[in-house]
Amino acid sequence: MRSCTIIRRFCRLVFACACCSDLLLAGTNGILEGTVRDKKTHEGLPATNVYVAELRQGVATDTDGRYRLRNIPSGRYTVRFTHIGYTSYAVREVVINPDLRTILDAELDASDVELDEIVVIQERPLVQHDATGTMYVVSGEDLTALPLQDVTSVVGLKAGVTIEGNIRGGRANEVSYLIDGLPVKDLMGGSIGTVLPLSSVFGMSLYTGGYDPEYGNALSGVVNIITRTGGDEHKVYARVDRDNLFRITQTSQTTDGEFSMSGPLVAGSLFYTLAARGIGTNTRWWQDLERYFPNTIDRTYNGFAKLDYVVSPSLRIGGQVLYSRHDWRDYEYPWRYNLGGLPPERKTSNRIAFIVSHAVGSSFHYSASLSRYHIGSSIGDGARGDVAAANPWEYDFFLRYVVAGTRAWWARASQESYTGKFDGTVILEKDHALKFGAEATLYRLNSDIIRYEPRMTFFGKPIATEPQIDYGSSYRYFPRAGAVYVQDRIDVLDQGGLLNFGFRYDFLDARATRPPLALAPHDTSGIVLTPPAEGGMKQSFSPRVGVMMQLDESSFLTLSVGLYTQYPLFDHLYTGLDRVALSKSFSALTGNPGLEPERSRVWEISYKRVLPMNVVVSATYFQKNTTNLIDSKTFVPGDSKISGSYGFAEFVNDPYAESSGLEFTVSRDRGEWLTGDISYTYMKAEGTSGAEHQGFNLAQYGFPVGPSVFPLSWDQRHSVTATVNLKTPEQIDAHLVVHARSGRPYTYYPSSTGFVPLAGAGIFSLNNQRMPAYTNIDLVLEHYCTPGWWPGARFTVYCDVRNLTDEQNVAWMDSNGRVGGELSDPSGYFIGRRTRLGLRIAF
């Protein structure tokens, strides 16, 4: 009965949004266009047939020889040009990217006799002419060749992105992740919820600025991952590698295997894609962990399946299933003598989606999708009642190592979403298109957490005389959200220009209310009644404008201005509400269903120029101001009958942040033996808060705080990244990734005892010192061959070396300036050199 009710509500919500809006959401299709000319006269050839072989879809050129095919699924195709009295012409490896145009011109030779078809291979465009913001396109081949752990690792290789994935000065959770245009973000924790096998990825688009209104709920960036589609030939791919073949102690004892296949089920109409990946590792801490647990400590499984049915050249129906699972145990250095006291953890996710794509004539096409997405996580074994909730674990005499006891942490959480989308594009004139669509989502959220932690000083020492802090929570809510947007696009490429402008409207109905609370603020002894925190409808309106101008044959200028919004994570809305409202115990961090959307105002200007030898240089300046960020600024002691004797911290919209920077990039995407890019970024990222729990922690420490605006923890002023791909005639390829970054900030506030500041330490000022610089080199060497006894197969043997020079890069320092703190924790350094040997087979 409950499921039927949810489905009925979901359908009503989708129908309401579709009827009241004309908007298009994150796309997976692109455009193919160009001009066909006579090779001698260079005049346009009307009535030339342009045919995409794999899609069985074509169009005839107009009176000027121009053509345009819209709504082409992202992929790699062969395009044929035929005209009576001319030699046929075919272009292979034509890449269609989502939301972008691929320009493919052709010149045909006049011939009175039938000649063999001329076949060429398309080269990548040096500059994407129709992107008005900063966008990077990464192919699936690049993802499998480069030394990357997963799809998201490529984000850190781009200009304006830190090694931890902070884009242009924003928090890590300000990025929206999409797979085939549908969101896969963990809306409780803020990270990506599902990771795909690399072999299932056709490519990805990374937006670090100036993205169109079709993308929402992201302040800093968008990652849109496009999956592969099966073709007319069966293809199989397998890979395996290990880093412990020679039992080198620097390794993580990791085995990584992957398998994928694709092809036709029914020739010409029904195609399949399957992919799976499994990773097993004992982690870099295996020498400690193997004393407590059997192999393998950390296990990850990812799977993907997809069906595409071509009903007709204009109508396609698709279905897909994603699955991801991660089982692991944490390692904390202070627990190294009692690792069995840390609970096991698990996270799973799955999604099923159905997508219809239909071109209705030459001037209108649409796509519609329905999906169900589920993320579940658990911490600890057994039932809720098995947790020794209030019994703190035991430290040694010097309060350094945990020697006995079990961490009181148990959790069961799930988030389920039902999403409907309708996307459409109307061609108003030859170079004028209106994009429109709608999205609606119903959520089912369940969270039950028991978590007790000892009170700690700022310097990391437990306060054994104080009771533990209760971070527990239990909630069950059914919020709903939706969005509509419209985007007008005017192409004037013949005159060297493009104009994008539009707006996006988002809403979130939190469907919760925090009741009024009796609290005693710090500066008074009386009891005051706070008003209820209403969690009704939250709305945001986001206008955006982008312009591209072609200054001359080889240089381009783009400008974009926009407002971007993001709704609070669900944990920030709902955590601990039930405990306060029902007078049950005390939850240290309490949600606020009245939180408003976070907002960023961003503008950027970029210049690109094409140089000889297929080299492109670009320079970009950006500026971003973010308001309504979330922190826990209201830590107050309260009425013990309601919130315990230590009060609680409520999430509020308070902090402010600003960032600006210059990005310089030199790239070469075309070349027989050398390709790659190198970028330099100068960036400042400052604000009044670096995390959602910062206010709660500072209130506990009780230090007098210095300046309110400070460098954020990801404020890397100088960053250089480089990617180099080298091909040799001996069938040996090399792929090199280099990072060189200035030091990140940390708070230096020394203590000799671990409980009070050192005499003369002065005012407590956040992030007042810098860690050492970071440098890292990763290298992949691969040798490939095609054996004579198996002509259709390709074997590749490779060696993947991470941190080639075995640099000791600092990950964190304590307030005394010690790497790894008092215990010289090895996690104070990023992991050292690791070497993997592997084999890939494709046929």
Two structure tokens written together for 522: 């710090």
Specify if 280 maps to a domain.
Answer: yes
- Cα separation, 491 vs 430, in Å, equals 9
Specify if 416 maps to a domain.
Answer: yes
Two structure tokens written together for 254: 């990791």
Last residue of a domain, one of 95, 121, 147: 121
Digit-coded pLDDT (tens) for 30-71: 888 888 998 888 888 888 888 887 777 888 888 888 888 877
The predicted structure's pLDDT at residue 531: 67
**In a shared domain, residues 366 and 406:** yes
- Who has greater pLDDT, 715 or 399? 715
Number of other CB atoms surrounding residue 783 within 10 Å: 14
In this predicted structure, which of 51-60, 179-188, 439-448 has the lowest mean pLDDT?
51-60
Q: With contact defined as beta carbons under 8 Å apart, do 742 and 715 qualify?
A: no
CATH of the domain at 20: 2.60.40.1120
**In a shared domain, residues 684 and 722:** yes
**Once rounded to an integer, what is the mean pLDDT over residues 261-290?**
92
CA–CA distances in Å: residue 666 to residues 609, 675, 678, 688 = 10, 11, 5, 34
Question: Which helix (H) or strand (E) element contains residue 19?
Answer: helix 2-20
- Residue range of the domain that includes 382: 134-842
What own/partner pairs with CB < 8 Å and gap ≥ 24 does 610-616 have? 610/126, 610/127, 610/554, 610/555, 611/554, 613/668, 613/671, 614/126, 614/668, 614/669, 614/670, 614/671, 615/666, 615/667, 615/668, 616/126, 616/127, 616/665, 616/666, 616/667, 616/668, 616/669
**In a shared domain, residues 55 and 163:** no
Q: HSE (CB half, 13 Å, CA atoms) of 757?
A: 14
As a whole number of angstroms, the longest Cα–Cα distance in the chain is: 100
Task: Find where tokens 């945001």 sit.
Answer: 540
**In a shared domain, residues 511 and 608:** yes
Q: With contact defined as beta carbons under 8 Å apart, do 333 and 289 qualify?
A: no
Whole-angstrom Cα Rg for the chain: 28
Task: Write the single-letter amino acid at 128.
Answer: Q
Q: With contact defined as beta carbons under 8 Å apart, do 314 and 358 qualify?
A: yes
Two structure tokens written together for 106: 């052709």
Q: With contact defined as beta carbons under 8 Å apart, do 817 and 769 qualify?
A: yes
- Cα separation, 103 vs 96, in Å, equals 10
The predicted structure's pLDDT at residue 249: 65
Number of other CB atoms surrounding residue 713 within 10 Å: 20
Specify if 405 maps to a domain.
Answer: yes
- Cα separation, 424 vs 444, in Å, equals 28
pTM of the model: 0.87
Specify if 404 maps to a domain.
Answer: yes
Question: For the chain, what is the mean pLDDT?
Answer: 85
**In a shared domain, residues 110 and 192:** no
- Cα separation, 814 vs 148, in Å, equals 30
CA–CA distances in Å: residue 484 to residues 133, 408, 437 = 21, 44, 6
Specify if 129 maps to a domain.
Answer: no
Closest of 583, 627, 635, 636 to residue 601, by C-alpha? 627
Q: Give the angle 108-113-117 at the CA atoms, nearest 5°.
A: 50
Where are any strands of DSSP class E within 210-253? 221-227, 235-242
- Cα separation, 482 vs 422, in Å, equals 12
- Who has greater pLDDT, 47 or 524? 47
pLDDT class of 525 with cuts at 50, 70, 90:
very low
Digit-coded pLDDT (tens) for 603-655: 999 999 999 998 999 999 999 999 999 988 764 443 333 344 445 678 888 88
Two structure tokens written together for 402: 């945990």
**In a shared domain, residues 138 and 112:** no
**In a shared domain, residues 151 and 97:** no
The predicted structure's pLDDT at residue 376: 96
**In a shared domain, residues 774 and 671:** yes
- Who has greater pLDDT, 237 or 154? 237
CATH of the domain at 261: 2.40.170.20
Q: With contact defined as beta carbons under 8 Å apart, do 506 and 542 qualify?
A: yes
**Strand partners of residue 768:** none
Q: With contact defined as beta carbons under 8 Å apart, do 483 and 23 qualify?
A: yes
The predicted structure's pLDDT at residue 788: 83
**In a shared domain, residues 385 and 517:** yes
Q: How many domains does the chain have?
A: 2
Specify if 126 maps to a domain.
Answer: no
Last residue of a domain, one of 93, 121, 149: 121
**In a shared domain, residues 138 and 54:** no
Last residue of a domain, one of 71, 90, 121: 121
Specify if 127 maps to a domain.
Answer: no
Specify if 499 maps to a domain.
Answer: yes
Q: Which of 94-103, 133-142, 163-172, 615-624 has the highest mean pLDDT?
A: 615-624
In this predicted structure, which of 284-288, 463-467, 817-821 has the lowest mean pLDDT?
463-467
Q: Give the angle 159-165-168 at the CA atoms, nearest 5°.
A: 50
The backbone torsions φ and ψ at residue 152, rounded to the nearest 5 degrees and listed phi first, read -70, -15
The predicted structure's pLDDT at residue 716: 93
**In a shared domain, residues 66 and 188:** no
pLDDT class of 24 with cuts at 50, 70, 90:
very low
- Cα separation, 608 vs 573, in Å, equals 43
**In a shared domain, residues 644 and 740:** yes
Of the chain, the end-to-end C-alpha distance in Å amounts to 49
The predicted structure's pLDDT at residue 91: 87
